[in-house]
Amino acid sequence: MHQRSRTLAAALSALAATTVLTLPTAHAAPQREAAPYDLNGDGFPEVVVGVANGTVGGHQQAGYVAVVPGSATGPATAQRWTVSQASTGVPGAPEPFDQFGAHHTSADLDRDGYADLLVSVPGEDGPTEDAGRVVILWGAADGPGEATSVPGGATYGRTGGHGLAVADVDGDGALDIVTADDGEELATLSLARGPFAPGRTPAPLARVADTGITHFSSVVALAVGDLDGDGRDDVVAPWRGLEGDGTAMLRGTPDGLARERAWHHETGGQSIAAGDFDRDGYADLAVGGARSVGPDDPDWEPRYPIASGVGGTVRVLYGGPNGPAGSREPADFSQETPGVPGTGAGESERGDDFGFAVSAADADADGHADLAVGAPGEAAGPKAGAGRVTLLYGSPTGLRADRSYGVHQDAPGVPGSSEAQDAFGAKVVLRDADGDRRADLHTAATGEDGGDGRVWSLFRAVDDGAVTGVGYSAASLHLPAPTRGLEFGRGLGN
């Protein structure tokens, strides 16, 4: 965790802050609900990178968000723009260690055809020091035009400091906001129920009473999806703590989120993603860096043990009428799994970190969700920690390894070349960037150039599988100085 601000700020307003923020070129009004991150409604989702440790107006780690517009040819890097608390209309003011952009997500909250951008500011002072806040930047034809501050949040600080998501947890058709926060001796989850709209005071974030998270712990990831097919999104949050690790399973109900003990599946992890890999109508879970978790009992043995010594495992828990607690056994993938590109069976190494980052979306437009898996510790020949990303494809039987492919900095079509400790794959996101309805791979090497970081947006041809793409850094995008040591790409978002 970064150093916290010691500067006291004025209390957060309980009312929404809404003012005009003019940014890119206008487009014609869209006729449909926008895809996430399509902030201007032109059909091409943007690439958004949170730079929480960036400097704004001389304030160290005040933070900002960099936006690279999408286009028919992919990210238009020459048209990039930034948003921070120094931007007109954004609530608050930049201060040291506010960390604007620590987490972000996107959805068309008001269903006006423009995706909206939600940003967490965990270090923002409010009723308490580092109370944190969430800001909604409302999409518009010329980019975000109004901004709203969501009231409430963590009682003990850093709202949204560990995660931010949107989901319809109560099934009323309006999207809700979920945050993972710090708390008094334990991590907390908060929920603000929709609907949300510009100029309207949003419902406050309120703590979810019972999550099962133990004391002295932190949430490491969030995933949302309808795991049991009841029409309400569920929330899953792996956590780590001094008293052990676990995964909070929260079921969506008409009254909000409720802990679902029956869904406990003896699985914890480093990362998590939700997607319908087998296209059966139920969201499935992919847990990266998976490991067995259970009661504090020396005689306890997991029902489905997770193999050790394989350089990292991704465990898939398939949804169904009973959620992930159904009768179907979990499926495990590692670099020892036949068909998974890598060093070969028997040669994966501790520290490869296969599953350090995961992301689910449909990369080949067949209706099945696919899974990108980052292994930032994977070596490239003698270059330790160069990193690799593997894509596993969905099918009627679920995720399969036989069609998977791997990509790294030395692969044809990928700009640049690998170096030791680049950590390529430290962050992965599957999201369409060129409007062809196929999710493209965006990945980060946070260790690139000694920790400056770099992001790649990669496209795979349908006919021959050839990979092309573009890479960009804080320096190449001419983002606010200093650009050294930013680990650019760590804030790629959901």
* Nearest CA-CA partner of 123 in 157, 149, 150: 157
pLDDT of residue 20: 30
Q: Average pLDDT in the 235-264 region?
A: 92
Asked whether the predicted pLDDT for residue 71 surpasses 90, the reply is: yes
Asked whether the predicted pLDDT for residue 110 surpasses 90, the reply is: yes
Instruction: Give this prediction's pTM.
Output: 0.91
pLDDT of residue 17: 34
Asked whether the predicted pLDDT for residue 3 surpasses 60, the reply is: no
pLDDT band at 155 (very low <50, low <70, confident <90, very high): low
* Nearest CA-CA partner of 140 in 29, 19, 17, 16: 29
CA 331 to chain centroid, in Å, comes to 23
Question: In the chain, what are the helix, strand and coil shares in percent, each to the nearest 5?
Answer: 5, 35, 65
Whether the CB-CB separation of 149 and 33 falls below 8 Å is answered with: no
Q: Phi and psi for 363 in degrees, rounded to 5?
A: -90, -15
In percent, the amount of the chain with pLDDT more than 90 equals: 73
- Residue 366 CB-density burial (10 A; 0-12 exposed, 13-18 middle, 19+ buried): middle
Asked whether the predicted pLDDT for residue 265 surpasses 80, the reply is: no
Asked whether the predicted pLDDT for residue 8 surpasses 60, the reply is: no
Asked whether the predicted pLDDT for residue 295 surpasses 80, the reply is: no
Q: Average pLDDT in the 382-408 region?
A: 95
pLDDT band at 153 (very low <50, low <70, confident <90, very high): low
pLDDT band at 313 (very low <50, low <70, confident <90, very high): very high
Tell which wins on pLDDT, 368 or 16. Answer: 368
Asked whether the predicted pLDDT for residue 175 surpasses 60, the reply is: yes
Tell which wins on pLDDT, 341 or 236. Answer: 236
Write b or e for each residue in 246-282: b if 16 or more Cβ atoms lie within 10 A of its Cβ, otherwise e: bbbbbbbeeebbbbbeebbbbbbbbbbbbbbbbbeeb
pLDDT of residue 22: 32
Q: Average pLDDT in the 12-19 region?
A: 30
pLDDT of residue 294: 79
Lowest mean pLDDT among 49-53, 253-257, 264-268, 354-358: 264-268
- Residue 223 CB-density burial (10 A; 0-12 exposed, 13-18 middle, 19+ buried): buried
pLDDT of residue 7: 31
* Greatest extent of the chain over all pairs of C-alpha atoms, in Å: 64
Report the chain's C-alpha Rg in angstroms: 21
The tokens describing 84, both together, are 């921070």
Of 288-302, 319-333, 364-378, the range with the highest mean pLDDT is 364-378
The answer for residues whose C-beta is within 8 angstroms of residue 291's C-beta and 6 or more apart is 245, 267, 268, 269, 306, 313
Q: Which residue has the tokens 């596993």?
A: 392
Lowest mean pLDDT among 97-106, 205-214, 346-355: 346-355
Lowest mean pLDDT among 57-61, 86-90, 139-143, 475-479: 139-143
What mean pLDDT is reported for the chain? 89
Q: Which residue has the tokens 């510790």?
A: 377
Query: CB neighbours (10 Å) of residue 346?
Result: 8
Lowest mean pLDDT among 130-134, 204-208, 390-394: 130-134
pLDDT of residue 185: 74
Tell me the residue type at 470.
V
The tokens describing 458, both together, are 């990669």
pLDDT band at 16 (very low <50, low <70, confident <90, very high): very low
Q: Average pLDDT in the 85-113 region?
A: 96
pLDDT band at 214 (very low <50, low <70, confident <90, very high): confident
pLDDT of residue 4: 34
Whether the CB-CB separation of 318 and 332 falls below 8 Å is answered with: no
pLDDT of residue 347: 58
Asked whether the predicted pLDDT for residue 98 surpasses 80, the reply is: yes
pLDDT of residue 490: 96
pLDDT band at 478 (very low <50, low <70, confident <90, very high): very high
pLDDT of residue 30: 53
pLDDT of residue 346: 55
Asked whether the predicted pLDDT for residue 14 surpasses 50, the reply is: no
Structural domains of the chain in order of their starting residue, each with its CATH number: 264-474 (2.130.10.130)
In percent, the amount of the chain with pLDDT more than 70 equals: 90
Tell me the residue type at 364.
D
